[in-house]
């Protein structure tokens, strides 16, 4: 089992509502990542089913987007150490408020695997569990 999380944050570190609109084409477009996953997780997805899937070593890839609406799901996934990859899209725009990514994701156990300049205003870091 593999769980991939993607989020876009502002230059000042706040989680943006949705990142699909920022990425129009290319290998790292969210729609491509979604299509490669077997299932998409939603704010009401069952953590118990995901834990069972992990215990059964199922060969399933899940995807979830971290937005202000899915924070509780992501916190639960992190608490049970179910997240395998984090795609962090960093925008150059300021949000001037909102929920800080650092308040939701603990980066202590993560290592940057790759970094890409998607455009002049968007940078991608792919993190994996250390």
For the chain, the domains span 2-129
Reported as a pLDDT band with limits 50, 70 and 90, residue 24 is low
Average pLDDT over residues 93-97: 86
pTM check: above 0.85: yes
Percent of all residues in the chain with a pLDDT value above 70, rounded to a whole number = 91
State the chain's mean pLDDT as an integer: 88
Average pLDDT over residues 45-52: 95
Average pLDDT over residues 109-119: 89
Rounded Cα distance, 118 and 74, in Å: 25
CB 96 within 8 A of CB 43: no
Rounded Cα distance, 47 and 119, in Å: 35
Question: Does 3.40.50.620 match the CATH number of domain 2-129?
Answer: no
């Amino acid at each position: 089992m593999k769980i991939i999380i993607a989020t876009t944050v502002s230059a000042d570190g706040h989680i943006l509502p949705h990142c699909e609109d920022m990425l129009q084409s290319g290998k790292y477009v969210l729609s491509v990542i979604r299509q490669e996953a077997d299932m998409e997780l939603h704010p009401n997805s069952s953590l118990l089913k995901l834990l069972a899937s992990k215990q059964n070593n199922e060969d399933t890839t899940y995807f979830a987007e971290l937005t202000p609406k899915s924070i509780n799901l992501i916190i639960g996934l992190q608490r049970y150490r179910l997240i395998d990859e984090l795609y962090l899209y960093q925008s150059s725009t300021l949000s001037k408020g909102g929920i800080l990514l650092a308040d939701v994701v603990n980066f202590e156990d993560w290592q940057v695997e790759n970094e890409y300049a998607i455009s002049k205003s968007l940078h991608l870091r792919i993190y994996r569990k250390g």
